[in-house]
A and B are shown apart, each in its own frame.
Chain A
Amino acid sequence: MELDSLYQEVILDHYKNPQHKGLRSDFSAQVHHVNPSCGDEITLNLKVSGDQISVISWDGQGCSISQASVSMLSELLTGKTLSQSEVIVKSFSELMASKGTAAGDPEVLEDAVVFAGVSKFPGRVKCALLGWMAFKDAAIQSQGESK
């Protein structure tokens, strides 16, 4: 079923057992992003030590796609450098814009390639991107502060 390409097992696993959920008090930037069309919300705390992403924590409410996506992002980007994260976020954004034509580069995106199916459902792309846009915003804020 087409629906299974959207709701991959890994995505539902992250939804049921979200990683890095629960805001931590150690952060260098905090952002709150909302999807005004559906009301999904994510607050994301980011701690950057030097050039390295040391802690990502988040809290939020929303659909399985938005919540699983930020959960996976947190796992994927923790420990990466800011410049590595830029490449990954760009790659994920491109995958989401692919309208189902791209599979995603597992070398860059690792587990996040499972979101490839989401790009076939235009109504859900924003769900998948919510956490990533929040992270991008937090990363810019952190960089601003360190300069």
Chain B
Amino acid sequence: MSFSVAEIRKDFPIFERTIRDGKRLVYLDSGATSQKPWVVINAESDFYSKHNAAVHRGAHQLAEEATDAYEGARAIVAKFLGAKDSEIIFTKNATESINAVAYAMGNAEPGNRFALTASDSIVVTEMEHHANLIPWQQLAKRTGAQLKWFKVNQDSRLDLSNIDQVITADTKVVAITHQSNVLGTIIPLDAIVKRAHEVGAVVVLDACQSVPHMSVNVAELDIDFLAFSGHKAVGPTGVGVLWGKAELLEDLPPFLTGGSMVTAVTMESATWAAAPQRFEAGVPNMAQAVGLGAALNYLSNIGMDAIAEHERSLTGYALEKLLAIPGLRIVGPQENIQRGAALSFTLKDIHPHDVGQYVDSQGIAVRTGHHCAWPLTKIMNVPATTRASFYLYNDEHDVDDLVEALLGAQKYFGKF
């Protein structure tokens, strides 16, 4: 099947509307959240209109149908990641997934493989989104463990030259992003995973910016935990995924406790159900999980390799066109190698917020600011950046419109 952006755009109703007095919508903010195709909107709506009931409860047909739909979605996610069904935990979003691991580790009692003490360390990177930094920062504070990190080098890549000094015998967790949401840098995981496992540490991967855009197989990556958000992968808001290796989930204590995550309860104590139920207390976001299943099926039908190739080629085009703008600096790798379709940049003398406002007046949606990666923004020595992030429904026409709008902004603010 040939990749047709025009056909794909027909699946997304939002592209039928116009922006700022009749302008064509150029949506370049998929790094923050993606748009939704009809199949996802319909799947969520169908769940409510036809099958709505509390899953895993109730002795009635609707409860059976709801459970089938919900567990069916779990199977779709598992297949999408190359995982087992029982390893897929539905959460609210990736932030909750990462917090679930961090808090669960904090709940581990002495003797448990996940128990952290002041003689342990947790490793992150300077590239992390706040969602994969602060939960570990706070876990370190609560347990006394040391927080260490890999630095970013001048080429916007991770400096792994000191890998043996950063990941050491006392390291228990290596929490790392798969692709920087600001720089677009894709992190080569092999050496990091190998070193982490050498010292007995688990690797937690923030895959928010990779799972929606490329084929990600947890077995091939040989990682231990993975988190992503449904809404960045053409799925609904309110549903995220935590994947964990079965043998690790077995030893991981729960984070949230309550209904449907137990085997037996007395007034004094409770015992925990096996994964994934142990990590899904309460009635879950059912319609959203079902919508996520539809989203991943939609992406699979198009093909993750085809999507990745489309984005790679579009990124190459965008890099070339953007770098030709006088005064534009790409904050991230300038070469289209091991980088995703998130392009952050600064425009000399025009603040990103003003750039964003101007391009919005032309119907173009971009993100501005520090993109929830404040430490990284400081390291890159910029107060903020403008970010254009591309997805399967974007094409070269969108890039051209962005470039024209940026030149327009330079003219408007009269700095050139």
Contact = CB atoms under 8 A, between A and B. Distances in A.
Interface stretch (A23-31, A56-64, A87-95, A101-109): A56-64
Contacts of B377: 39
Contacts of A127: 353
Contacts of A64: 351, 353-354, 413
Interface residues of A, number: 21
Interface string B373-405: 010010000011000000000000000000000
Nearest to A1: B361
Contacts of A65: 353-354
A38 B20 contact: no
B358 interface: yes
B208 to A, nearest CB: 19
Contact of B374 (A2, A39, A66): A39
A3 B412 CA distance: 10
Contact of B357 (A6, A12, A37, A62): A6
A2 B368 contact: no
A114 to B, nearest CB: 16
Contact of A63 (B354, B361, B370, B414): B354
A146 B414 CA distance: 45
B268 interface: no
Contact of B369 (A2, A39, A61): A39
B413 A62 contact: no
A124 interface: yes
Given A2-B361, A6-B357, A12-B413, A63 B351 contact: yes
A4 to B, nearest CB: 9
Contact of B384 (A1, A38, A123): A38
Contacts of B384: 38-40
Interface of A: 1-3, 6-7, 12, 37-41, 61-66, 121, 123-124, 127
- Closest 5 CB pairs between A and B? A63-B353, A63-B351, A38-B369, A3-B361, A39-B370
Interface of B: 20-21, 351-354, 357-358, 361, 368-370, 374, 377, 383-384, 412-414
